[in-house]
Structure formats: structure tokens, C-alpha cells
Structure 1
């Protein structure tokens, strides 16, 4: 019997989950065994999973799960260096030259486990079968505008907290922006899920958006238009051949640009298109000030959808469920393709 073990998230400010109680009931009906860890932070309470018939395990007990269980979480595991012997479904962030990626792969190598990276779950045409992209874009644009509003008040964006839903987020942000003229925003990757979310958030708040995608960036740069907008939102994942949208020279160039929202957030990747910063920001300190004359802040948070954890979880879980229902055959389909990608990177260690 295929056994999926939904672990509690251990990262601060991470309240999302990739399986809802309704999805768990569907897996159980399909003959899978489902264990869900208790969690003191998960947005969706444990009661629904109990009612669905799931087995309940103590919080953070996944290291002691049966070796055959498939451990399912979203964000990174504790960086304690222990070998990883289970098969894990998660966002590994290990395949683009990230500094921590090699360490994670070495842990799988040492333990004999395997990574089925959620970013690598793709259909036969190479399109991802599930993504948090829309809500990442929506929340990322919101944080960028909060950074701009804080600048207008003469400060820098303070700590963030989750919202019950997008209506509450919009109300809070409208209060932050007040009656001041809205900034102009440039969204790169506007035709994708992330860019669509970013553009929708801006439109809801009366922010004029210039929408760019592959056609507008195909020439490879430079991109002086970035400097002509107060807010720049990068919604394109770092990949080999990705153009540089924001070179270091921007820091000393004349510019209207005041906030960079690197929603794709891959600053340690060799292919990052934004070269004015080198580390992610977080909920406690969302903005990194990289220039002062004039001010330029970068916000780059890698779990943005957790700002709206319920909506993001329900949307993502619905997208992923059809693939979870095929877990009985890990050698085929989306799982087989993800395993092949893991094997390729493991062999390159």
C-alpha cells in the first residue's frame, strides 16, 4: 500500500499545506494510506484530517516514519546535516546552483533517499502540473507596494503577518497607500501564473502596470525601461540564458525605480537576473536597502504565498491532487520525470 506522510512545516511563518482534508479523503478512497502530522501552525486544522479518516502522527515525527513512507512537505527541512533515507516530496531548491542545494543532495546520497522536487513535477510537454505561482505573484506585489508606502513615510517596510484572506490584505494595503498618487509598476513574466497574480494585485489597487513577457525581453537587454518605473516586479524564474534585468550599474544610475520585488527569489542562483543583492529577505525584515541616493529597496521572500495561506493551500492542493493519486507508480509520469531529474543532479555531485 502506498503510504503518504504529510509532515508539519518547520520553517518560521510557513502555514501552508499541500493536501487538504478533502484531498486526503480522495487518496484514502483510492486505496492509499495517509498519515498527517499534527501542527501548531498549519492554517488548516487537524480536525478535518481526523474526520477524513487519516492517521495522525506527532508533530515533526517524520524522521521515525516507516522507511517506505513518502514524506510530503512544502518548504525546506531542518539543516542539521542528517542523512535522508526516505523519499521526499518538497521544494528542494537544489538544482540551480544554490549554495544549500549541494548539501541537500549530499544528505540524500548519504541516506539513500530520493527527492521528488515539486518544481519538477511536469507533464509530458514540460509544464508544471501544480504551482503556487498566482498567489506568490499576488502577495509579492503586495509586499513591494508596502515597501514603497513605507518609503513614502520616510521609513523601511516593517514585519509582515499573514492575512485571513485577500480582502483583508487589500484593505490593509489600501490604507498603507492612502491617497498619494500610485507608483507605476513593470511586471516581467506577465503572461505566466506569477505575473498574472502580481498584475491583478496592482490593478486592484489602481497601480498602472506595464506588462512584459518573452517578446519584450527577447533582445536580451539592456532594459532601461526598468529604471523608468517606481516598482519593478520580477516574475521569471532564474534559468540558464536568462537576461540580466537589473545590473549593478543601476545603483548609481539616474532612475525612478524605488522598489524591486524579486518574486521569483533566487538570489544565490548563478542565473539570477537581479544583480544588486545576494540574499533573500524574510517576514521580519521584508526590505533590503541597497541604495540611499535615491532610496532603492529589494524585497525577495521565498514563501510569499504564506501571506495568504488558506487560499494558497486550497488552490495548490487542488492542482496537485491528480498527481498524488498516481503515487502508486512512482516510476512513471510526473513522478518518473521528477526522479530522473534528481538522479541526474545526484550523479553530478
Structure 2
């Protein structure tokens, strides 16, 4: 049996991403499970796991991985770093025809590359089998409580990115005991929302039903989980049907208005379709009974479900203020009447070691058996956007996107 060389590439996207698809221990596990595979790590000074941690477990670390058969990263590979005639696995962010990555897809086609996109890896039921969503929820909820505490001068949590790992971050949880009896709403029911709920539970906050959240007062901080059916309804008032909502989001309208007078902190974790209703409008923020002072927009859809999310934020500067009176953005914590918004768009990067361990587990359990085992269930096939420089039939719709001329850079 011929050897397959699997190379972990150095992340090249800016801002830097310190996550890895496989940690050192996971690399050893891969080699034990599939003896024909040899894992090599490209040397990197930004990776959350150091080169030495890979060497300590007997793994090869080298500056160049062009001798590898399969190259595995996390984020989009810079065009200049693409190696022709290779098989790549990473998040390409091309399937929605994202303008920023058109040239990336063009070059993948020109360089005779095979591209397998993590985002498109699904099981037979169409469910994603590898994702960082849970970690977005964990860090997003933590950042929401951090932002609320700063805004109201209650406590100072250490930023997640300054924590060594999740255990270190959890040492900060006790500080939220300074919270007054506020109400926190978490939207969504997927991986992201589950991560956020995990944090609130471990912080010792009390979970209540949607009914109690709406109609009862409490002497302690509480939170509730709002599913799509809790804040949307069909315009024709037909009975709620979840599959119908996903198939025809434009037929629905928001009922989130009833939560605006009782919610202090909103943690938005629900997937949003552009045809679906927004939770509220900018005009709603000027209502006398609009109570939300802090929003953690974990989904971070610009001008999406949360209309005050007019831009994303960075890990070092995670928040900005929205002035309801003017509709303008201001520096975070500028004035009490503003709504403070946390909108970091790469939240899992704040706990890169934990997120990487979790992702590697998913790869070993759900993906690599198909990658190295013939793919009888079509898992790899469904996620292969390009094979040997040609769009696969499933992704033929990207041809016009990939063939459009790349934008010409302005002269300086």
C-alpha cells in the first residue's frame, strides 16, 4: 500500500488564525488508525500548537510541504501559496459566490487543484459533520457577558483570547455573580446556540421557560432559549411548520417585538436567511419600551437579522455602540443610552487550542474514514467543489462566478 502524505499547512490569511485542523495528538491518532498515512506539519510561528509540540510526538515539521499529496488547513489559502496539482481541504467560502474569494476559485481551477470544502461535508441527512459552531457560541456568549459587564461597570472579565484555554476562561465565570436580575435571550437551536447555552449554564445562571421569561419578574438573572417558532409567524397566520419556514422564509414575519420590553442582553445565535424577517427594525430601537442595552451578535450577518450590526468587529476591539437617536455607530461604551454590539466574526479563534481539538475529533470520526476509505457514502464527493481543475457537476453553478474577471486593483 502506497504512503499518503498529509500536510498541515501554515495559515496564511490575515488577520492570523491560530487554529489547526489536527493537533499533535490527533496526528498520531491518524497515523495509528491509517498506517498508510504519514502526517507532516508545515513550520509555523502563529499556530496555537508549537512546532516543538509536533516534534515531541515524533511528527515531521518542515518549512515546505509541496511533497505532500493532501494539504489541510483551516481558512482560505492565499492565492500565491496555492500549490498546483494538489488536493486541499479548507473553508473556501466560495459556494455562495463570495466576491472576495472569486480569484481563489479561479486559481484553484487554473492550477489543476482538487478542493474539498469543510463547509460542504455532510452526512446522508444533509447535516454538517465538521464545524466550529459550538466554539463560536461559547466565545460569543462569554463576550456578551463581558460586554454587558463593561457597559454597566459591573465587572471586568479577561478577554477570551487572553485565556490559555477553556478551563482558564471558566475561571472568570464567578465574576458574573455581580449581575443584577437581568433577562438574557439566546436565539437559535443549532450548534452555536448550544455552545452559548453551555456557558450560561456553567456560569450558574437560571434557565426559565419562554412564558415565564415574558411574564414573570425574577430576583436573579435569568435566560431563555428562543427557537424560530418563538419569534416568527406566517403572515397568513397558518399553523407553525418548521420545514415550511426553512423553505419559504419570506412568507413569515417577526414577532420578536414582544421580547424587546423584557430583554436586557440579546445573544443572537440563529442562522438567518436573507429572505427571513429581521428580529426588529432600527425604528424599534427608538421605542420607549426598547430595553436591550447589549447585543452579542454571534451570527454576525452584516445588516442581517440584527439591524444594528452594521459592521463586524475584531478580537482585540470586539464592540461598538449604536446610537438609536441618530442611527450612527460610535465607539463602544460612549454613552448609556446607546446599544453596545459585540460582532466578532471569527469567534472560535479566541480559544484556538480547544476549537482545534474539537475539530480534529470531528475530522477523525466523520471525515477521514471516507477520505482514506473509498468514500462509498459519497461524503467526500458531495464536498468536492473542484476535481483536478474542473468544477464537479454539483458545483457547476459556480462557473459564471469563477469566469468573471477579477476586480482590478486601484493604482496608488
Residue in 1 that maps onto 2:293: 258
Residue in 1 that maps onto 2:162: 162
Structure-2 change in CA distance of 1:37 and 1:266 (3 Å): farther
* Residue pairs, 1:31-42, within 5 angstroms: 31-42=36-47
Residue in 2 that maps onto 1:185: 184
Partner of 2:163, secondary structure, is: coil
Q: Distance in 1 between matches of 2:72 and 2:297?
A: 27
Residue in 2 that maps onto 1:283: 315
CA contact (8 A) 2:134 2:192 kept: yes
Residue in 2 that maps onto 1:216: 230
In structure 1, runs of 5+ residues without a counterpart are none
CA contact (8 A) 1:27 1:325 kept: no
Q: Distance in 1 between matches of 2:51 and 2:377?
A: 32
CA contact (8 A) 2:97 2:398 kept: no
Q: Distance in 2 between matches of 1:226 and 1:199?
A: 18
Q: Which has the larger radius of gyration?
A: 2
Partner of 2:384, secondary structure, is: helix
Alignment root-mean-square deviation, CA: 3.1
In the TM superposition, residue 318 of structure 1 has moved relative to its aligned partner by 0.8
* Residue pairs, 1:1-349, within 5 angstroms: 1-10=3-12, 11-12=14-15, 14-29=17-32, 30=34, 31-58=36-63, 61=64, 65-66=66-67, 69-78=69-78, 85=84, 86-153=86-153, 161-175=161-175, 177=176, 179-189=178-188, 191-205=189-203, 206=205, 207-219=221-233, 220-222=252-254, 223-227=256-260, 228-239=262-273, 241-254=275-288, 255-267=290-302, 272-291=304-323, 294-322=337-365, 323-328=367-372, 329=374, 333-340=378-385, 343=392, 344=395, 345-349=397-401
Deviations 1:20-69 (A, max 9, x none): 223212332311232211222322233343344433122xx45xx14x63
User: TM-score, normalised to structure 2's length?
Assistant: 0.72
When structure 1 is superposed on structure 2, of 116-125 and 80-89 the one drifting more is: 80-89
CA contact (8 A) 2:19 2:349 kept: yes
Q: Distance in 2 between matches of 1:319 and 1:3?
A: 20
CA contact (8 A) 2:139 2:160 kept: no
Q: Distance in 2 between matches of 1:97 and 1:276?
A: 25
Q: Distance in 2 between matches of 1:116 and 1:226?
A: 42
In the TM superposition, residue 336 of structure 1 has moved relative to its aligned partner by 0.6
Partner of 1:100, secondary structure, is: helix
Q: Distance in 2 between matches of 1:280 and 1:72?
A: 27
In the TM superposition, residue 137 of structure 1 has moved relative to its aligned partner by 0.5
Structure-2 change in CA distance of 1:2 and 1:326 (3 Å): farther
In the TM superposition, residue 246 of structure 1 has moved relative to its aligned partner by 3.8
In the TM superposition, residue 6 of structure 1 has moved relative to its aligned partner by 0.6
In the TM superposition, residue 125 of structure 1 has moved relative to its aligned partner by 0.7
Q: Distance in 2 between matches of 1:174 and 1:296?
A: 25
Deviations 1:108-167 (A, max 9, x none): 234332432211111111111122222211110111111111111399999763312334
Structure-2 change in CA distance of 1:242 and 1:50 (3 Å): farther
Deviations 1:263-287 (A, max 9, x none): 123328xxx3223334321112101
CA contact (8 A) 1:135 1:312 kept: yes
In the TM superposition, residue 258 of structure 1 has moved relative to its aligned partner by 1.7
Structure-2 change in CA distance of 1:334 and 1:75 (3 Å): same
CA contact (8 A) 1:84 1:108 kept: no
In structure 2, runs of 5+ residues without a counterpart are 206-220, 234-251, 326-336, 402-412
Paired residue total: 338
Structure-2 change in CA distance of 1:184 and 1:260 (3 Å): same
Partner of 2:371, secondary structure, is: coil
Structure-2 change in CA distance of 1:114 and 1:298 (3 Å): farther
Q: Distance in 1 between matches of 2:310 and 2:80?
A: 24
CA contact (8 A) 2:160 2:169 kept: no
